Amino acid sequence: MKLIKQIGASLTVVGCVCGITVGLSDTQVSADQVSWPGTTTVQKQDSSSPMTGNISGTHLLSSQALTEAQQAGQQGFYNGIDGYPVGQCTGFVAAVLRQQQIPVNTYSYLGNGDQWAESATQRGLLVDFRPAVGSVVSFKSMHVAYVTEVNDITGTFKIMEGNFEGQALHERTLTMNDDIAGIIHFEKLSTAPQFTFTV
């Protein structure tokens, strides 16, 4: 269980490099007692870890945030958006990014799905191979998808996508593989309240 330690009149997460300070109360609470808007973290003690207190778990969008993102993606698929055509994965993902209040100049006109990772790098965005909730996967097979869940325990992540086998909305669980050109971290640019992430 990750502990939150009292410092003055506020609380801060112990052992977290993010430096998040939470002003809740003057009592000591565990991280599973703190609710972050729009995200849920299912935590499990990793007994195989040599470090005492190491926490791993699953990070995911809340059901409301997921539903809103799915609806936005389908609208982008059916209508096209921000320079991306109707019926394509790029329009689906662009509409989700717009709904998440990502600045349009960071995701518009990135090209085909396989070009997004390189184009995003050229625009100065963080691109790596570590999925995070709210990031975008660029596939070498000319496809993009939006990450909705990351499981630290299994190393899997869940995506939602448009135009997978022609569908307006499709979800699947993946592991890192050779078809992935990169993970684009748009989630770090979001001003939407549901993207306050637990760490």
Is the pLDDT at 180 greater than 80? The verdict is yes
| Helices and strands per DSSP (H, E), number in the chain | 4, 12
The answer to pTM > 0.85 is no
Residue with tokens 């349009």: 104
Q: Rounded mean pLDDT of the chain? A: 77
77-111 as b/e: b if 16+ CB within 10 A? beebbbebeeebbbbbbbbbbbbbebeeeebeebb
Q: What is the mean pLDDT of residues 141-168?
A: 96
CA angle 168, 173, 176 (to 5 degrees): 115
Per residue in 29-63, pLDDT (tens digit) is 333 333 333 444 444 333 332 222 234 588 999 88
Considering only CA atoms, which of 14, 2, 148, 4 is closest in space to residue 73? 148
Question: Domain extents for the chain?
Answer: 1-33, 61-195
Q: What is the mean pLDDT of residues 90-119?
A: 97
Is the pLDDT at 25 greater than 60? The verdict is no
| pLDDT classification of 82: cutoffs 50, 70, 90 | very high
Q: Assign domain 61-195 to a CATH class.
A: alpha beta
pLDDT at residue 191, as a whole number: 74
Considering only CA atoms, which of 162, 182, 186, 32 is closest in space to residue 114? 182
Phi first, then psi, for residue 124 (nearest 5°) are 90, 10
Higher pLDDT, 46 or 143: 143
Q: What is the mean pLDDT of residues 175-188?
A: 96
User: What token pair was written down for 155?
Assistant: 């190393």
pLDDT at residue 146, as a whole number: 98
Phi first, then psi, for residue 10 (nearest 5°) are -125, 175
Is the pLDDT at 130 greater than 90? The verdict is yes
